């Protein structure tokens, strides 16, 4: 892909494209955009492993491949273990893994494959401290199989097995904080990122490449199909999630927390601005919304205290 030199200077992202068009993601997919940024950052110097999730289909059903990089498709619960295996194999063959010009081993799993099914493999991967990167793209339900709830679904959301109404109920449990579970393992690097802030995301990817040891990034990726939102609002939703402090951007490195600029710029907006754009929250009562708002602000205060305590 040829991009003129004068444009390259003004672009805030790497100009090379290793994520090819013609993939089968839905219109306005956040996960596809996330994959595009990861391939922009690592080019073809990365080996990917993807378990069963939407991205299996985006990366290509046989005989198609959307990537310009090698890809290993694996079983649902084994992403963490496969990253460790590929890393050990590369090292045994004498390749340089991680570091400035080393090969990156990237696991890319959804929130179901991370927070529910793949949790033990993720824990093992972090505990054994493999030189790899695990990216969890968070679209807050099992979207590939038809919008079933996962433990990452927020309280009050509609999904096909929490449909609401008189006989059934909406999602009852709050969102599982996978990033806190990860930080409890004391990894080399952990961070949250959003597709609405690609410069911040690519900076974190490059940082994860430099730091030796296990790294983890939780990426917020809206899903218009499952969230019942218009396809053109994906980026706006991801941005509002950060601005309302529903999904604050921060990084954890060597025992220190740092809240990143997009989250610290202004005071959090009211959560209702984020909720009203999505059809999955339209069954919530006023009390539900107030309770969710309180939960969001409490988590945000907790994070700010942690950042102050461990700086």
Task: Using CB under 8 A, list all residues that contact another protein.
Answer: 1-4, 6-7, 10-13, 17, 19-25, 27-30, 32-33, 36, 44, 60, 62-69, 198, 224, 230-236
Structure-derived torsion over alpha carbons of residues 226, 182, 197, 202, reported in degrees to the nearest 10: -120
Helices and strands, counts by H and E, the chain: 13, 8
Give least dist CB 230 to another protein, A.
8
Our CB check for another protein shows the closer of 64 and 169 to be: 64
Among 196, 187, 252, smallest CA distance to 221 is for 196
Our CB check for another protein shows the closer of 23 and 130 to be: 23
Here the tokens at position 250 are: 């921060």
Our CB check for another protein shows the closer of 21 and 309 to be: 21
Structure-derived torsion over alpha carbons of residues 154, 242, 213, 34, reported in degrees to the nearest 10: 90
Cα–Cα distances (Å) from 14 to 17, 30, 44, 113, 256, in that order, read 8, 19, 13, 29, 29
Give least dist CB 19 to another protein, A.
7
Our CB check for another protein shows the closer of 53 and 292 to be: 53
Give least dist CB 131 to another protein, A.
24
Q: How far is residue 259's CA from residue 304's CA, in Å, rounded to a whole number?
A: 8
Our CB check for another protein shows the closer of 22 and 255 to be: 22
Give least dist CB 218 to another protein, A.
19
Residue count of the chain:
311
Here the tokens at position 80 are: 């963490």
Here the tokens at position 1 are: 């892909």
Give least dist CB 63 to another protein, A.
6
Here the tokens at position 118 are: 């793949």
Our CB check for another protein shows the closer of 39 and 214 to be: 39
Give least dist CB 46 to another protein, A.
13
Q: How far is residue 29's CA from residue 125's CA, in Å, rounded to a whole number?
A: 28
């Amino acid at each position: 892909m040829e991009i003129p030199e004068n444009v390259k200077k003004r672009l805030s992202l790497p100009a090379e494209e290793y994520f090819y068009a013609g993939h089968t993601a839905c219109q306005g997919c956040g996960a596809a955009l996330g994959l595009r940024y990861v391939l922009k950052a690592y080019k073809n110097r990365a080996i990917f492993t993807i378990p069963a999730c939407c991205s299996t289909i985006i990366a290509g059903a046989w005989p198609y491949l959307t990537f310009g990089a090698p890809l290993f498709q694996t079983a649902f619960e084994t992403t963490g273990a496969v990253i460790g295996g590929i890393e050990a194999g590369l090292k045994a063959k004498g390749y340089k893994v991680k570091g400035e010009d080393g090969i990156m081993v990237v696991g890319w799993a959804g929130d179901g494959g991370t927070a529910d099914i793949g949790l033990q493999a993720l824990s093992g991967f972090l505990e054994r401290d493999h030189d790899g990167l695990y990216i969890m793209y968070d679209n807050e339900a099992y979207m590939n199989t038809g919008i079933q709830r996962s433990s990452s679904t927020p309280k009050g959301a509609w999904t096909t097995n929490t449909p609401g109404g008189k006989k059934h109920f909406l999602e009852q449990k709050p969102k599982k904080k996978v990033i806190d579970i990860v930080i409890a393992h004391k990894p080399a690097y952990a961070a949250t990122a959003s597709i609405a802030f690609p410069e911040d995301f690519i900076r974190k990817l490059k940082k994860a490449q430099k730091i030796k040891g296990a790294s983890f990034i939780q990426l917020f990726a809206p899903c218009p199909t499952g969230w019942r939102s218009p396809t053109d609002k994906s980026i706006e939703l991801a941005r509002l999630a950060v601005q309302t402090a529903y999904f604050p951007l921060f990084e954890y490195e060597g025992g220190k927390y740092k809240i990143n600029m997009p989250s610290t710029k202004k005071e959090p907006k009211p959560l209702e601005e984020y909720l009203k754009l999505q059809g999955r929250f339209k069954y919530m009562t006023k009390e539900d919304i107030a309770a969710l708002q309180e939960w969001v602000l409490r988590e945000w205060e907790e994070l700010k205290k942690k950042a102050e305590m461990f700086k």
